[in-house]
Amino acid sequence: MSDLVRLTGEHLLIVSIAVVIAIAAGVPLGTFAHRRRRLGGIALRITDVVQTIPSLAMFGFLIPLPLLGGIGPRPAIVALVLYSLLPIVRSTLVGLERVDAHVREAATAMGMTDRQLLWNIELPLATPAIVAGIRIATVTAIGVATIAAAIGGGGLGTLIFRGVSMVDSRLILQGAVPAALLAIAADALLTQVEHYFAKRRGES
């Protein structure tokens, strides 16, 4: 039991660290992609490609890499950041694109600088979309993190891999069920956050 609690904690920890890093990188990247169309398109395509790499292969690729790679929680976090990036960059871009052109024009005509337009108007209006991206990234990361155990990343995947090698369904379930519950809980929680911001921006 204490094993389960510890592994759930580990799982949550690597996912949280990865998602926080992905937000810190993804929102600015999405904003940049919105301002600089062409470069933004390239950045988006790269994150797209990353997303298609099978997660087991991704962890494998990271093992020989210096600094970021190897085995243990660090490469696991690196991989999760890479997977979480796309939904966050994309949703930031989409959220900014959806800001009404007339609203943007009004803000500019009132005398807002580009920076004021971004912080006072565009980002607040894009927040519900950005949160939606964070929600998708988190749910994905919780799932992918189970594979991280393959390179010694810890977390609930440890139980699953142990169960697979021992052909013990009960052990597999001990890892899989809490992981699924975590994903469902994260989804529900972040949906609430999304609604809160949508309400605040005056939508519903």
> In terms of CB distance, is 68 or 103 closer to another protein?
103
What SS3 state is found at 204? coil
- Residues that contact another protein, how many (by CB under 8 A): 20
Name which of residues 89 to 148 contact another protein (CB under 8 A).
100, 102-103, 105-113, 116, 121, 124-125
Element (H, E) at 177: helix 169-200
Question: Minimum Å distance from CB 201 to another protein?
Answer: 4
Report the candidate in 140, 152, 124 with the shortest Cα–Cα distance to residue 88.
140
Q: Burial, 127: exposed, middle or buried (Cβ in 10 Å; 0-12, 13-18, 19+)?
A: buried
Name which of residues 152 to 171 contact another protein (CB under 8 A).
none
> In terms of CB distance, is 86 or 131 closer to another protein?
131
Asked whether the beta carbons of 144 and 79 are under 8 A apart, the reply is: yes
Around Cβ 93, how many Cβ atoms within 10 Å? 25
> In terms of CB distance, is 94 or 180 closer to another protein?
94
Q: Could you tell me the two tokens for 65?
A: 């890499």
Asked whether the beta carbons of 96 and 126 are under 8 A apart, the reply is: yes
Question: Minimum Å distance from CB 133 to another protein?
Answer: 18
Question: Minimum Å distance from CB 196 to another protein?
Answer: 13
Report the distance separating Cα 194 and Cα 10, nearest Å.
Answer: 26
Q: State which amino acid sits at residue 105.
A: E
> In terms of CB distance, is 64 or 111 closer to another protein?
111
Question: Minimum Å distance from CB 96 to another protein?
Answer: 14
Among 3, 48, 168, 203, binds another protein (CB under 8 A): 203
> In terms of CB distance, is 120 or 169 closer to another protein?
120
Give me the residues that bind another protein (CB under 8 A), please.
Answer: 100, 102-103, 105-113, 116, 121, 124-125, 200-203
